[in-house]
Amino acid sequence: MNPLRQGQLDDRVMDACAVVIFGASGDLTRRKLMPALYNVAASRVLPGNFAVVGVARRDKSDDAFRAEMAEGVAKFSRRKVDPTLWDDFARSVSYVCGDFGAQPTYDHLRSHLEKIDAERGTRGNRLFYLAVPPAEFGPILSGLREAKLVAEGVRPWTRVVIEKPFGHDLPSARELNDTVAGVFRESQVFRIDHYLGKETVQNLLVVRFANSMFEPLWNREHVDHVQITVAEEIGVEGRGKFYEQTGVTKDIVENHLMQLLCLTVMEPPISLSADAVRDEKVKALRSLRPMERRVVGESVVRGQYGRGFVRADEVCAYREEPDVAKDSTVETYVAMKVYVDNWRWGGVPFYVRAGKRMARRVTEIAVQFKSVPHPLFQSPDGGITPNVLAARIQPDEGIAVRFTSKEPGQHTILRDVAMDFRYGTAFGSNTPEAYERLLLDAIRGEATLFTRRDEVEEQWAYMDHVFDAWHAAGNIPPPAYAAGSWGPDAADDLLAKDGRRWRKP
C-alpha cells in the first residue's frame, strides 16, 4: 500500500488536484510551502491523487528541483523526514522552467498539467499559488487566461492563492483586485494571511462564541481596553530594500494586525460560512474611527531601532543594515490608539503595536477588564490588579486568564494567579503550521481564513489616512529606540496619558 495513503480519512471531502507554485525557486517555497505540503501528505490528509508543480525562471531538471526541495524540507519541516514517505511524495513533484512574461511558458505548463492529469489522475483541478512579488501577478494571470488554464465551471475547478503585500495603498490594491477579477471570480481567489492559519487565531472565535462565560463580558460595559502586540526580536534580516519601501506599518499592521483586531471586535456571524464570517470582519473595519490628520499626531507613534542588545548579542541599528539609507525615515516600530465606533465597543481604546528588534518575540491579544467598582480587599501595593484574558498567538500558543486570589494562611493576602492553557501541553508540541492549514483549506475551497476583496480595500482605506498624515508632515525621521527594548518612550507616553501602561508579555 502507498505509505502516504494508509489510514487516510479525508479523500471524501478533498478533490484530486495539482498544486502549481509560481516562484518555486524562492525562499517561501523552500521554507514554508514545500515543508507544509510534505507534512500534510505525511499526515495522510492530502487528496488521493495530487501533484506539485514548481514554476520558475531558473533552468533545472525535475530531479534537481526535488533535491532542492528535499534539502528545504529536511531543514524546515516541523517533523523529521521519513525517507520512505519523502520518496513517495517526491514522485508527485515536478518542475517547469519559463519566463513569467512569455506565453510559451504557459503553453508548456498546460501540456505538462495535461500529462499529469493522465498519469496521476488529478482530473483537471488546479490550485495556482503566486509566491511572487505583486508586479508578477498581471503577467502570470494573463498567461494563465491565454493558455486556457482557468476553468470557468465548478468541475474541474481552478483556484489562485495570492501572497501579501496586496498593494501598497488603496488605489494599488483596487488595481490589483481588478486585475485578478479579470481572470478569476472572487470565489476562486484566496488571499493568504498566514496569521489566520495559526491555531490561537482560529481558536479566538471558539473562545468568544462557544463559551458563555466570556461573550457576555466582551463589550464596553466590562472591558477597560485591549492591547494587541506583534513583536519580533529579529531585524529586517537582509530585506533592507523591501523594508525601505514598506516599513513595519505596511508589512505587519495593515494586514496581520488589522485581521487580529477584526477577530477581536467582530459581532457573532450568522453561521460559520466563509462569507458570513468575512461579512462581520468587514463591518468591524467599517466601524473603525477614521484617523484624521490631527488625530494621527496624537494617537500614532513611530520608531526606528538603533544599536542595542538582543539576548545578550549586540546588534546593529536599522540604518546600518544592508540596502538601508543612512538617513532612512522608515519606521520599524509603530503604536496606535484605535477606536471602534459601534454599540459594543464605543469608547473602548484599542492599543496596537508592532515592531522589529524588540525585547522578545511575542504576538498576543490582551483584553483587560475594568477594575472592581468598590475594593473590599487591599493588596500590598494598595490596589487590585484588573483581570486580563490574553490570547498568545506566538510563541507558546495558548490562552491565559489572570485573576486575583487569596494566598493560603491566616491573613487575607491577595495575589495574582493565572489559568494558563497551552496548546503544546494540552495537545502535544507537534501542532500543524499555519501554511499547512491554509493550503488544505484552499484545496478544499474553504475560504473562511482568507481575506476577501472588500476586506483588503477597507484595511487600506483606513491605513491610508495614517500614511497621508505622515506624508503631509514631511516624513519626519522616527525617534530611535534601543534594539532589545520595548520601543520608543513616546509609545509608553501614548498609554500613560490615559492612565494605562503596556503589558510586558
CB burial string 227-263: b at 16+ within 10 A, e below: bbbbbbbebbeebbeebbebbbbbbbbbbbbbbbbbb
Rounded Cα distance between 139 and 17, Å, is 23
Sign of the C-alpha dihedral computed for residues 405, 406, 412 and 415 taken in this order: negative
212 burial (CB, 10 Å; 0-12 / 13-18 / 19+) is: exposed
Out of 112, 194, 225, 256, the active site residue is 256
Element housing 19 (H / E): strand 17-22
What is the SS3 assignment for 8?
A: coil
CA-closest candidate to residue 443, choices 160, 253, 105? 160
183 burial (CB, 10 Å; 0-12 / 13-18 / 19+) is: buried
Query: Who contacts 17 (Cβ-Cβ below 8 Å, separation ≥6)?
Result: 47, 50, 51, 122, 123, 125, 126, 127, 157, 443
Cell of 167: 498593494
Rounded Cα distance between 171 and 185, Å, is 20
Residue 256 a catalytic site member: yes
Rounded Cα distance between 91 and 238, Å, is 34
Cell of 294: 490631527
- Give alpha helix (H) positions in 56-169: 62-76, 83-90, 103-120, 137-146
Residues annotated as catalytic are 256
